[in-house]
Amino acid sequence: MPHLQPANGRTPLPDPMNYAVLKAIHVGAVILTASGFLARGIGMLGSARWLQQPLARRLPHVIDTVLLASALGLAWQLRASPLTSPWIAAKIAGLAAYIGLGSIALRFGRTRAIRAAAWIGALAVFAFIVSVAITKDPRGFLSH
């Protein structure tokens, strides 16, 4: 794992097993949150009643809490912060944009056209965050 180098070169390396488990949890939460957001967007466009079910309202918060907690744990183990690692800063900025667009799409958008546009925008931002995660480049797929 060549990227498991502490940012300041001095702090002891994290336990690679812990790191691998945390990363699997993070990527698992990424897949679940993306699937949930896709499904809720499709439900929103079709005015589906299941969107009001308690599970559909609560589960996203649980998944997103796991996503964020594992993200913080990984960044901590890498000793990486938005100040030392531009790709972390790009992920946090992307996450803020995703949350903003996502809440317009699923809650605050006044017309269906606005909600649909925000949903597509949020999915694009999500793909951008994944590309930043994989390349460790703050420009993600925009670098080509």
Total residues binding ligand HEM (CB under 6 A): 21
Please write down the HEC assignment for all residues of 23-34. HHHHHHHHHHHH
123 binds ligand HEM (CB under 6 A): no
87 binds ligand HEM (CB under 6 A): no
Residues 129 and 141: their CA atoms lie apart, in Å, by: 9
How far apart are CB 3 and ligand HEM at their closest, in Å? Answer: 5
CB-count exposure of residue 92 (10 Å: 0-12, 13-18, 19+): middle
Q: Does 75 bind ligand HEM (CB under 6 A)?
A: yes
The number of angstroms, rounded, from the C-alpha of 118 to the middle of its chain's C-alpha atoms is 16
CA distances from 135 to 3, 48, 61, 111, 123 (A): 11, 37, 27, 36, 18
Binding of ligand HEM by 105 (CB under 6 A): no
**Nearest distance in Å: CB 144, ligand HEM:** 17
**Residue 59 interacts with ligand HEM (CB under 6 A): yes or no:** no
* Site track 26-55 with ligand HEM (rule: CB under 6 A), x = hit: xx--x-------------------------
In this chain, which stretch among 6-14, 50-58, 100-108, 130-138 interacts with ligand HEM, using CB under 6 A? Answer: 130-138
Instruction: Locate 23 and state its tokens.
Output: 């990363």
